[in-house]
Amino acid sequence: MPRACIHRGYPLAPIASLSPALELIYKSPFLASHIPHHITSTKINTSIRLFHFPIQANSHVIRSGMDFFHNAKAVRLRSQHDKYLLAEDDEESVTQDRNGSSRTARWSVEFVPGYESLLRLKSCYGKYLTASNQHFLLGMTGQKVLQSLPQRLDSSVQWEPIREGFKVKLKTRYGKFLRANGGLPPWRNSVTHDIPYRTATQEWVLWDVDVIETQPQPTPNSHQPSAAPSIDIHSDSLDFDSSSSPLSAMSGHYSRQGSSESYTCSPSKSEGRTIYYHIADESGDVDDDSTEGFKLSFKGNRVDELTQKLRKDTGLEEIVVCSRSPLNGKLYPLRLQLPPNNADMHVVVVPLSSIGETSS
């Protein structure tokens, strides 16, 4: 029998029966904190639909740890301390930091030939994330995680992703896990590989995987001359029906250019990045297949600045800015920093007024 929830004194539906959108609210403190009190304190049952994010039929379903890295070319790893795995500029140390927009937070993904469940992670310095045999502190069980470039790519640079709900654990070939340490120095911001014996540190081996670049997909007509560079709107493209909104006169439209899972963007633009966005309708739906969207130019890396810019551009006061995961097609609220290098982005603007209307 699924366990029921109690929120502000109101009985809620069992967790297992909640819609994907409602699960998103409870699993995301960021989104929950932006929903007005009169909405979150309303008695809810499963017959009331707050808003629904449709998942495309061809969306990738996560069943194993390796699925988090499906078609991934580069990722960021975010620890339970809300810090990112960073390669230090000494080209040896590995630490944690909240600056996820740094290029040192980018890890290239290499799949180990002949093994379906193993991968390697390479830093921006061309060195591999390595589980060393050096003790982090004398007398402690944790061992150092370093950047290295061994002559032979042995098991010390191989990691096995283990799914743990919506997160992943990275296991070494010797049964230890990549761990983001907390507490006082020298533990604070350090990264080791260890087996967590204490209950308080069990979650330190859990990581969120942010895919920041996907593998280019081969085209059927690869022998033909390539077309001029263009933005390819892929599985996380966000489309908006301009015929159903007074915003149709605002901003330039863009449309689907192809089905590739990758898109091209300039590595660095002094004028900023292009934000392609859609606005969810009054029911919270976004039709990805048949509608167009808007775009704007944006300078900056902070989510709150982008939110303010979109408020002005759309005329909507209460919004949550979300992005669609290329892995499972679901929408998640943007957190902390935008991707580095002014890379173009595709987002969905979810008006909180639509949540209030459908929950009344």
Evaluate if residue 146 carries a pLDDT over 90. yes
Q: What is the pLDDT of residue 287?
A: 67
Of 117-121, 222-226, 312-316, give the lowest mean pLDDT range: 222-226
Of 3.10.20.90, 3.40.1350.10, 2.170.190.11, 3.30.450.20, the CATH number of 242-359 is: 3.10.20.90
Q: For the chain, where do the domains classified as CATH 3.10.20.90 start and end?
A: 242-359
Q: Could you write out the three-class secondary structure of the chain?
A: CCCCEEECCEEECCHHHCCHHHHHHHHCHHHHHCCCHHHHCCCCCCCCCCCCCCCCCCCCCCCCHHHHHCCEEEEEEEECCCCEEEECCCCCEEEEECCCCCHHHCEEEEECCCCCCCEEEECCCCCEEEEEEEECCCCCCCEEEEEECCCCCCHHHCEEEEEECCEEEEECCCCCEEEECCCCCCCCCEEEEECCCCHHHHHHHCEEEEEEEECCCCCCCCCCCCCCCCCCCCCCCCCECHHHCHHHHCCEEECCCCCCCCCCCCCCCCCCEEEEEEECCCCCCCCCCCCEEEEEEECCCEHHHHHHHHHHHHCCCCEEEEEECCCCCCEEECCCECCCCCCCEEEEEEEHHHHHHHHC
Residue 354: the pLDDT is 60
Report d(CA 110, CA 90) in Å as an integer.
23
Quote the pLDDT of residue 168: 95
Non-local (6+) Cβ contacts of 91 within 8 A are 123, 125, 127, 147
**113 pLDDT above the threshold of 70:** yes
Statement: 72-214 belongs to CATH 2.80.10.50: yes
Q: Give start-end residues of each CATH 2.80.10.50 domain in the chain.
A: 72-214
What integer pLDDT is reported at residue 139 of this predicted model? 59
Kindly report which listed range (94-103, 151-160, 307-316, 332-341) carries the lowest average pLDDT score: 332-341
CA 232 from chain centre, in angstroms, equals 19
- What are 50-90's pLDDT values in tens digits? 333 333 333 445 578 898 998 899 999 999 999 999 999 99
Single-letter residue type at 95: T
- For the beta carbon of residue 259, count every other beta carbon within 10 angstroms: 13
Least confident of 155-169, 302-316, 344-358: 344-358
Residue bearing the bigger pLDDT, 269 or 201: 201
Phi/psi for 103 (5° steps) reads -65, -20
Q: State pLDDT tens for residues 272-330.
A: 788 888 888 766 677 655 556 788 888 888 888 899 988 888 888 889 998 887 777 77
18 vs 86, more confident: 86
What pLDDT band is residue 208 in, cutting at 50, 70 and 90?
very high
Query: Between 320 and 218, whose confidence is greater?
Result: 320
Mean pLDDT of 8-28: 44
Residue 7 has pLDDT above 50, yes or no: no
Please give the average per-residue pLDDT across 138-148, as a whole number. 84
In terms of DSSP bridges, do strands 319-324 and 345-351 run parallel, antiparallel, or are they unpaired? antiparallel
* Cα 171–Cα 177–Cα 178 angle in degrees, nearest 5: 105
Determine the residue type at 234. Answer: H
Residue 255 to residue 239: CA distance in whole angstroms: 8
Q: Average pLDDT of the chain? A: 71
Residue 195: pLDDT band (50, 70, 90) is confident
Question: Is residue 116 over pLDDT 80?
Answer: yes
